Amino acid sequence: MATSEVKLLGSWPSPYAMRPRIALSVKSVDYEYIDEKLWEGKSQLLLQSNPVYKKIPVLIHGHLKPICESLIIVQYIDEAWSSGPSILPSDPYERAWFPAVKSIGVAKGEEAKKAAIAQVEEGLALMEEAFGKCSKGKAFFGGDEIGYLDIAFGSFLGWLRVTERFNEMKLIDEGKTPGLADWADSFCSHAAVKDVMPDTDKLAEFGKMVIAKIRAAGAAAERH
């Protein structure tokens, strides 16, 4: 497949854009990566290819209709390229399971933050259990290779680390979630992931910039 045949519109801090990038890498697909600077404005190509939601990621495959929604793109990649390991589990129950990780960063006030952290910890405890069942002693949810759940959840690890840093706490912890702690290390050092996982320092800087913008917009709205 020629490089120009496959284009992916993404944005480096986006966990959603990471998902199709990992899937393309797992399948060894050559593609052109177009990094959108969403905070500065959207490209004509993005507005044309995702006219309704105007969000990244978008996959453009030849002359076919562009595909939006990160997990739909991952499913499409899995079906379109038989090269490389299969990403989706064949068991539909495993396919349907999905973790609910809520953002701690957006919680307003200490109480709301505590509740959000408790919810994430509860989710992680469930994931720890699910990891034990799915991985059957192997490195990934998908077994020996990265699969759908690894991609769906692993794409949040960068922001999870930033959240840990901002709140001076550990969410994935050797003591509480030893399986997930090992899994996170294996995932981040996997060949298909390491080049697309953003650096935590860079992501934290970006996070600070976003929070400052949200605060400034809030203060401006209060003045009007």
Ligand X SMILES: N[C@@H](CCC(=O)N[C@@H](CS)C(=O)NCC(=O)O)C(=O)O
- Return all residues near 96 (Cβ < 8 A) that are at least 6 apart: none
In the complex, what is the shortest distance from the CB of residue 92 to ligand X, in angstroms, rounded to a whole number? 21
CA angle 17, 21, 22 (to 5 degrees): 115
Query: What distances in angstroms separate CA 217 from CA 191, 214, 222, one per listed residue?
Result: 40, 5, 9
Ramachandran category for residue 214: left, alpha or beta (phi over 0 → left; psi -120 to 50 → alpha): alpha
Single out the segment in contact with ligand X by CB under 6 A; choices: 52-60, 93-101, 131-139, 155-163. Answer: 52-60
Closest to ligand X by CB, 57 or 154? 57
Piece in contact with ligand X (CB under 6 A), picked from 9-17, 174-182, 201-209, 211-219: 9-17
9 by DSSP, 3-state: which?
strand
* Residue 53 Cβ vs ligand X, minimum distance, rounded to whole Å: 7
Q: Do residues 146 and 140 make contact, with C-beta atoms less than 8 angstroms apart?
A: yes
Least distance between ligand X and beta carbon 206 (Å): 11
Q: How far apart are CA 90 and CA 140, in angstroms?
A: 16
Cβ of residue 179: shortest distance to ligand X, in angstroms? 25
- Which member of 1, 16, 86, 121 binds ligand X (CB under 6 A)? 16
Judge whether 26 and 87 are in contact, CB under 8 Å. Answer: yes
**Cα–Cα distance for residue pair 171/161, rounded to 1 Å:** 8
Nearest-approach distance from CB 64 to ligand X, in angstroms: 18
Report which secondary-structure segment, H or E, holds 7: strand 6-10
Would you say 54 or 176 has its CB closer to ligand X? 54
How is the chain split among helix, strand and coil, in percent rounded to 5?
A: 50, 10, 40
User: Total residues at the site for ligand X (CB under 6 A)?
Assistant: 11
Contacting ligand X within 108-127 (CB under 6 A): none
- Least distance CB 80 / ligand X (angstroms): 17
Find the binder of ligand X among 21, 55, 61, 161 (CB under 6 A): 55
Interface characters, 22-51, with ligand X (x: CB under 6 A): ----------------x-------------
Select from 21, 24, 57, 135 the one that contacts ligand X (CB under 6 A).
57
Q: Residues interacting with ligand X, by CB under 6 A?
A: 11, 14, 16, 38, 54-57, 69-71
